[in-house]
Amino acid sequence: MLISTILRRHIETDVQMGISIFPLHKHKQYLSECCKLINDEWKRSETARLHSLESSCDSLPTSLVLVEDGRVIGHLKLTPIPSIKDACFVESVVIARHLRGQGYGRILMRGAEDHCRTALQLRTVYLSTKGQEGFYAKLGYVLCKPVSIYGCFVPETKKEEPKRVVVQSLNVDAPVPPPLPHCERLVSRKVFMKKELISR
């Protein structure tokens, strides 16, 4: 079933406004516009980005585009989780900068959840975020343990103590170096969230 049809059932006012959600592989005319939208947010080579987008298919991974009046204004990608068969991972969620804060992100996520539930028969949607927890919490996502889309265990993020430097020197008069600065970049603040999809 086309997602725009599913949306029509649930978000009639949005459809009246000319908004649709499409699987990208069925509407390849949006490929380069979608690539630009994502690359405006997360810089990456166009070739690599297009390669990733071109892997979209009917099962997983699937890239969904939010289109308004023929323009791509949003994107997200549904990725398989090898260790959890009836779930997927949502990534690269993005809404065009000038349209943020107007409810489009909610529409896109809701359309994606409908697609997961009805077309893909999935029960749970996972994601990870660094800074957008509030947005996902509003949509019913709750914090959960890390999951991996690479088929291996993801350890819980833990603040590491800065390593002590042992100075081994024959010159006992040499000044002791100052402690190493705490390296924030080594500490991931990414959180994982999930939502159980309730059948409608």
Ligand X SMILES: CC(C)(COP(=O)(O)OP(=O)(O)OC[C@H]1O[C@@H](n2cnc3c(N)ncnc32)[C@H](O)[C@@H]1OP(=O)(O)O)[C@@H](O)C(=O)NCCC(=O)NCCS
Q: Which amino acid is at 189?
A: R
CA distances from 19 to 8, 14, 104, 111, 119 (A): 10, 6, 9, 11, 20
Q: Is 63 in the site for ligand X (CB under 6 A)?
A: no
Q: Is 138 in the site for ligand X (CB under 6 A)?
A: yes
Q: Which amino acid is at 63?
A: S
Q: Is 23 in the site for ligand X (CB under 6 A)?
A: no
The structure tokens listed for 181 are: 């600065």
Identify which range of 31-39, 52-60, 95-103, 146-154 contacts ligand X by CB under 6 A: 95-103
| Beta bridge partner(s), residue 194 | 126, 142
Identify which range of 5-13, 30-38, 126-134, 191-199 contacts ligand X by CB under 6 A: 126-134
Q: What is the dihedral of CA 150, 151, 152, 154, to 10 degrees?
A: 60
Instruction: Kindly state the smallest distance separating residue 161's Cβ from ligand X, in Å.
Output: 29
How far is residue 32's CA from residue 139's CA, in Å, rounded to a whole number? 29
Task: Figure out which of the listed residues 2, 68, 135, 144 binds ligand X, where binding follows CB under 6 A.
Answer: 135
Nearest CB to ligand X, comparing residues 52 and 132 = 132
Q: Is 32 in the site for ligand X (CB under 6 A)?
A: no
Instruction: Kindly state the smallest distance separating residue 178's Cβ from ligand X, in Å.
Output: 36
Q: How far is CA 145 from the centre of its chain?
A: 16
Task: Figure out which of the listed residues 9, 51, 71, 100 binds ligand X, where binding follows CB under 6 A.
Answer: 100
Q: Which amino acid is at 152?
A: C
Identify which range of 19-27, 30-38, 129-137, 192-200 contacts ligand X by CB under 6 A: 129-137
Task: Figure out which of the listed residues 18, 70, 82, 103 binds ligand X, where binding follows CB under 6 A.
Answer: 103
Q: Is 62 in the site for ligand X (CB under 6 A)?
A: no
159 CB-near residues (< 8 Å, 6+ apart): 187
How far is residue 56's CA from residue 74's CA, in Å, rounded to a whole number? 16
Q: Is 118 in the site for ligand X (CB under 6 A)?
A: no
Binding site for ligand X (CB under 6 A): 41, 93-95, 100-106, 129, 132, 134-135, 138
